[in-house]
Amino acid sequence: MYEKLQAYKEAGKAIRVGAAGAGWMGSGFIAAVKHVPGMEVSILADEDPGLARKVLIEEGGISPEDIVETDTPGKAADAVLKGKRVITGDITLASKTGPIDIVTDVTPSPASGAETAFAAIRNGKPVVLINIEADVTVGPALKKHAAKAGVMYTVSSGDEPGCLMELWDFVRCLGYEPIVIGKGKNNPMNPDATPDTVRESAEKADKDPFQVASYVDGTKTMFEMSCVANATGCRPMQPGMTGPEADTNTITEIFALKEDGGMTPFPGVVDFVQGSAMSGGVFITVRIPDQRIQADLRYLKVGKRNYSTFFRPYHLWFLEAPISIARAFFYEEETLVPLDKPVADPAAVAKADLSPGTRLDAFGGYTFFGRMDTKENCVTANALPVGLAPGAKIVKHVTKREIITWDDVELDESSTIVKLRREQDTSQQL
């Protein structure tokens, strides 16, 4: 891949990326792409174009005179062809700009990701999302529209789901039976976490307290593992998964099947582990019947009895995403694509008593958190997908720890994400 990118650069070319989001994720992505040969972010969209300008200058190393602000596709195309960079407040502009090769959304907002991806698909642009929240909420609908349009739709590597798909492909190619696929959580689970309870640690890390609280209360983990479930068909053992304490010495025995002394009731489970030893990493525990392979893996220190756990000790967020973009561009290679029918969903659960008229706030806020369950259980409970929760208006009283249902809220029915989700759910009921 490096040679491909380098040759593209030496030919005076670049993979032209149109990206939405100039926040923490987006700015990191801009910094990452700056070092990738043969690739550039040609259009950066954000509701605050001034922030987009600042990010291109400070993180992208772009001279102010080489930045053009416009919401007009023709003017944007002219600027890109002249080697300029475009900033805009319109997240759909890149989709309508001819020279753009790949469109992405680098935010944690399902609404932004859905809007960006759907616009790209309608305009015949390939999509490589750096936004698992959008995929979890409306990925099958986006995939269906992309197939009809004859364009690629995929989620990138970097976040745990994309990294896990690489491990998933690895073990299945070798003929090993996946038992549990999961991640190491970076912090202890606390569903009551709010921006207030994590503010001190967030400020020390120079992170948004809402963002940090969404990690601690489990919402982010539930999104991540729902994304994995819906791309692999693996399922949680119970609502919210189990999240045992584990390290690299104990995980294989913990996640063996019950019949072999472990806790796993069936092959094909998604879960996570807690504890510092595996924090930030991803893993797959597999079962291998071949005694020769078992012996070789034990010698290589990755096997115990007829089980082995393959552990990658890191994931690099948006910093890895350029590789997925390059693979999509050069080889039309997908990193993660959801199945046609989801097997899991993160439901919105009340973090406090909610009265009619309350507006649900953001992920990691004061009003709700996400809890993963099987799709069947979510449908039975009429559970509101947590990806639709931000901004929803409560119309019925909901008690703390109750699942928030579709009937409990009023949604913006004109939004792209609500339309896509209703379309997706209707088509799956047929």
For range 101-118, the mean pLDDT: 98
- List residues bridging with 88 in a β-sheet: 45
The pLDDT, as a whole number, for residue 100 is: 98
Q: Which band of pLDDT confidence, cut at 50, 70 and 90, is reported for residue 186? A: confident
> Among positive and negative, which fits the CA dihedral 105, 110, 112, 115?
positive
Domains defined for the chain, CATH in brackets: 2-157+318-331 (3.40.50.720), 160-313 (no CATH), 344-429 (3.90.1210.10)
DSSP 394-412: E-S-B-TTPBPBGGGEE--
Residue 426 has phi, psi (to 5 degrees) of -65, -45
Q: Which residues share a beta bridge with 162?
A: none
Assess contact for 287 and 279: CB atoms under 8 A: no
pLDDT at position 124 is: 98
Q: How confident is the model at residue 164 (pLDDT cuts 50, 70, 90)?
A: very high
Compute the average pLDDT of residues 14-35: 98
Q: What is the pLDDT of residue 429?
A: 72
- Per-residue pLDDT of 312-347, as tens digits, reads 999 999 999 999 999 999 999 999 999 999 999 999
pLDDT the model gives residue 303: 87
The values of phi and psi at residue 130, to 5°, are -110, 55
Q: Could you tell me the pLDDT band of residue 57, with boundaries at 50, 70 and 90?
A: very high
Q: Which residues contact 268 (CB under 8 A, 6 or more apart)?
A: 178, 179, 232, 233, 234, 235
Give the pLDDT of residue 381.
98
For residue 213, is pLDDT > 70? yes
Does residue 65 have a pLDDT over 90? yes
Give residue 187's pLDDT.
87
Mean per-residue pLDDT, 385-412 = 98
CB atoms within 10 A of CB 332: 11
> Of 74, 308, 231, 412, which is closest to residue 422 (Cα–Cα)?
412
